Structure 1
């Protein structure tokens, strides 16, 4: 069976709970085909796709070595936004601020995955936490209305410390869908 793998920042449980609680307020008024399980919240650093075992092992070794001198760092939730058509988005996400270290770590992970032989997405890195996929509401989607209902000002009041990068495996059709199979502690 095909499965996908990706390296991502692992979010603390209290941050996952904070995002989930915030979305409880908006789910009924802004229906999406799939709301992610709170254990699936993460920030993707490098998407590997259906990765052969040899390349996966090599990437794990290289990424672990590259991050050996990296310590934990702080981020703050910033805003809720979307990807896709403005009135019919395909992704609802939460953004983060304080991300200079995040960009440094993403570059290291990305480079090591290239070194391991992966072909990676060349689009610029846009750090985000996917919350839901594929808007299915009958009325036109309005991001400003959603931001007000979700507490536009309060989302930025949540800060958290990132201390782990994990290699995740996707389990299509399961909930939660993503399983961390290798974790690197930032020390």
Structure 2
């Protein structure tokens, strides 16, 4: 059974002790959560991280406009900050800072044969079903298999350094929001039908970014730690 202790830290934070882990919750003007792991020489700070592809401002602006229209349904949805929308390739979870170097080297190895490639942002739908959506998403389409091959290579290489591969198939998408109840759902379903085949733009992928995620009550804050560039310009007839 897990042992739990709760007390105030001298810095004005709540400290939750759960066996080998401690969680600091900042209750000051900028609340946030920090994960610590108990090591031989004390607590070790953990960083919540993931690998993703950033979107250009032109695409983010278009998604923000669509999100604003969906909000007119006044549905019970927890919306993703449009400026933070990204394409997640791999969620790494809580890591120690010393792991960053090995992760970056592994990603560099994974992308070294991948040229720049384009992605189309097109279509809108819902998981698990468009008639009963729990997650509202925007679709992505690739020409060829550069994205799926890249993601698969990342999974395989990161597994070698201790990161468990995903047990679900990779379905590239951009999350707009998560539906919390049935309020306004009929309106949302109608809007999803309207944008089912909508083309939102196209952009070129030039790199993969390692992000840090700070969890806060107002929503997560994503900070880029390192960008790993792809090989470079396209080559006619090239593969990966």
Query: TM range, normalised to the smaller chain?
Result: 0.7 to 0.9
Question: Which of 133, 138, 145 is the equivalent residue of 2:190?
Answer: 145
Instruction: Name the SS of the counterpart of 2:100 in structure 1.
Output: helix
- Determine which structure has more spread, i.e. the larger CA radius of gyration: 2
TM-score (norm 1): 0.86
Given the alignment of the two structures, is residue 19 of structure 1 paired with residue 81 of structure 2, yes or no? no
Q: 1:140 to 1:19 in 2, by over 3 A?
A: closer
TM-score (norm 2): 0.68
Question: Which of 154, 163, 181 is the equivalent residue of 2:206?
Answer: 163
Q: State the alpha-carbon separation in 2 of the partners of residues 91 and 50 from structure 1.
A: 24
Given the alignment of the two structures, is residue 101 of structure 1 paired with residue 119 of structure 2, yes or no? no
Written as runs of structure 1 = structure 2, the 5 A alignment for 1:125-140 is: 125-140=170-185
Written as runs of structure 1 = structure 2, the 5 A alignment for 1:1-187 is: 1-2=34-35, 3-29=47-73, 31-84=75-128, 88-98=132-142, 100-141=145-186, 144-149=189-194, 151-153=195-197, 155-156=198-199, 158-173=201-216, 174-175=218-219, 177-186=221-230, 187=232
Higher relative contact order, chain-length normalized (CA < 8 Å, sep 6+):
1
Question: What count of residue pairs does the alignment treat as equivalent?
Answer: 185
Structure with greater proportional strand content: 2
Gaps of 5+ in 2: 1-33, 36-46, 233-240
